[in-house]
Structure 1
Amino acid sequence: MSSSRSADVAKLILIGRLGKDPEVRTTKNDKEFVSYTVATTNFPPPPPNPDGSRADSKTTWHHILSFNPSANNYLRNLTKGSHVYVEANFELREPEPRADPDSPQGQRQIFLRHGDYQVYIFRAS
């Protein structure tokens, strides 16, 4: 086994729609990044209930951060509702021990970081 972990990856692929226009932000160290949200809806819907009825499909909202300058230039031109394909690094963050359980810091979070991957916009033909 190699001591190098550079080949390890946890990646999530999303195909959905932007929930709002991407936002350009700055870190505490003045590094620019883009924050955006992608909505995905599971299809097909869940299996039928015993009575034959079927629950509606659920929409999940994914918050993604991009620190990639070339991707950021592209992202800042997209608008709410754009149909996108995104590949993002995936990291599960455990709750902070002393945080309020009702706050985001007090809950398990999935952190999605758009790194060297591509974002594609689907255009209607």
Structure 2
Amino acid sequence: MSFLTRRLTTTTPRLLGASRAFSASARRDIAKITLIGNLAATPEVRATSSGKELVEYAVASSDGPRDNRHTSWFRVATFVEEGPRRDYLTSLPKGTTVFVEGDASMHSYVDAEGKNRSSMRIYQKSLEVLRRGNPSE
């Protein structure tokens, strides 16, 4: 028997056996999203119902040719403690091009007219400024 044959016959049962757990924590389904777009307005600090503050902003991302362009709007939120990081984020002007990575979640609700609606909320994990907007706009 050759070395290769012995190697395959001794390792194959382990490869076909039970899978090995690589994590001690339970599986968690998540939806990740990556956006590149422009800020619709300067990010704003808002208080939650529990009193914790978060920074909210909207990102516009467009695709298609100029004469048939479609723009998608994404609402983004992040929990940033008071300090230089929050000050920097809230100083970004409308039109700033950003690269955002985050977790996405869908929410269903009934609007004031009784219609079923759904919306996607993105919780920012990281943000990178690609080009600053013009603060005079």
- Output the TM-score relative to the length of structure 2: 0.66
Quote how far apart the aligned CAs of 1:74 are. Answer: 3.4
1:21 aligns with 2:26: no
Unaligned ranges ≥5, structure 1: 46-53
Which residue matches 2:102?
A: 88
Unaligned runs of 5+ in 2: 1-20, 133-137
Distance in 2 (CA, whole Å) between partners of 1:112 and 1:62 is: 7
**Kindly tell me: are residues 82 and 55 of structure 1, through their superposed partners in 2, closer, same or farther at Cα, counting changes over 3 Å?**
closer
Give 2:120's aligned residue.
110
Determine which structure has the larger strand proportion and give its number. 2
Q: Which runs of 4+ in 1 moved over 6 A?
A: none
1:72 deviates by 3.4
Q: Which amino acid aligns with 1:61?
A: W
| Aligned alpha-carbon RMSD (Å) | 2.8
- Assess if the C-alpha contact under 8 Å between 1:33 and 1:72 holds in 2: no
Shift of 1:40: 0.1
Mapped to 1, the partners of 2:30 and 2:87 lie a distance apart of 25
Between 1 and 2, higher relative CO (CA 8 Å, sep ≥ 6) is seen in 1
Select the structure of larger CA radius of gyration. 2
The aligned runs of 1:1-125 (5 Å cut-off) are 4-6=26-28, 8-43=29-64, 45=65, 56-69=68-81, 72-96=86-110, 100-101=114-115, 106-114=116-124, 117-123=125-131
